[in-house]
Structure 1
Amino acid sequence: MSISPFLRSPFTDVTGGIVSHQLLGRCQKEEARYMDCLEAYGLERGKVKCAHLFGDFHECSTLTKQFKRFVAIRRERERQISEGKLTGDNRYVSPKVDSY
């Protein structure tokens, strides 16, 4: 995991925002918390101390848990359809708004 550039120059400072989520990104807060933690502990020690913040940031940017949850719900629905528990109009009914 490489966080800082090998060669630092004014060009890397100006273009650094392109690869971050700070410019109108959905994960601005998570990335800022993670970078603040890394700044406080340093890069090597921060990788260990800030692992929980990196996990939050990684989930926000990749949405892997959300996708796995979606796949599990889809599999369960298909299983219930194949067993005959869901038939007719009940096959693809969306959950109620307040069901979470």
Structure 2
Amino acid sequence: MSLSPWLKSPFTDLTGAIVSHQWYGACADMEMKALDCLEAYGLDRGLKKCDPLIRDFTECALKIKQFKRMNAIRWERNRQYWAGERSKEDRWSKSPTHDSY
């Protein structure tokens, strides 16, 4: 994982904030905690010390576990349908009622 640019210049300092999650709401706090930790320990030592924060931020930004879980549910429902355990009407769950949240 590369967190530092290969070539550091004033241009990279100016444009580095463009690719940031601070504009969005969901992962802004996690990104800030990870970057504060990296700033405190430095890049080389921070990659080891701040690894849990970096992994949490990466999961929040990319949602890899969520997509894997969604695909596993989809494959299991298809397997149940192909095995005859689910009917065609019951293949996908019904949407929740409007007052269930």
Taking structure 2 as the reference length, what is the TM-score of the superposition? Answer: 0.80
Displacement of 1:40 in angstroms is 1.5
Identity %: 49
Larger helix percent: 1
Displacement of 1:95 in angstroms is 6.5
**Cα deviation code 1:13-37 (max 9, x no counterpart):** 3322101111235311111010011
Displacement of 1:12 in angstroms is 3.5
Displacement of 1:52 in angstroms is 0.6
Provide structure 1 residue ranges, at least 5 long, that are not aligned to the other structure.
Answer: none
**Cα deviation code 1:45-77 (max 9, x no counterpart):** 110011111111111111111110011000100
The residue number in structure 2 matching 1:30 is 30
Q: Distance in 2 between matches of 1:74 and 1:62?
A: 19
Provide structure 2 residue ranges, at least 5 long, that are not aligned to the other structure.
Answer: none
Q: Distance in 2 between matches of 1:88 and 1:19?
A: 44
Tell me how many residue pairs correspond in the alignment: 97
CA-based RMSD of the aligned residues comes to: 2.0
Taking structure 1 as the reference length, what is the TM-score of the superposition? Answer: 0.81
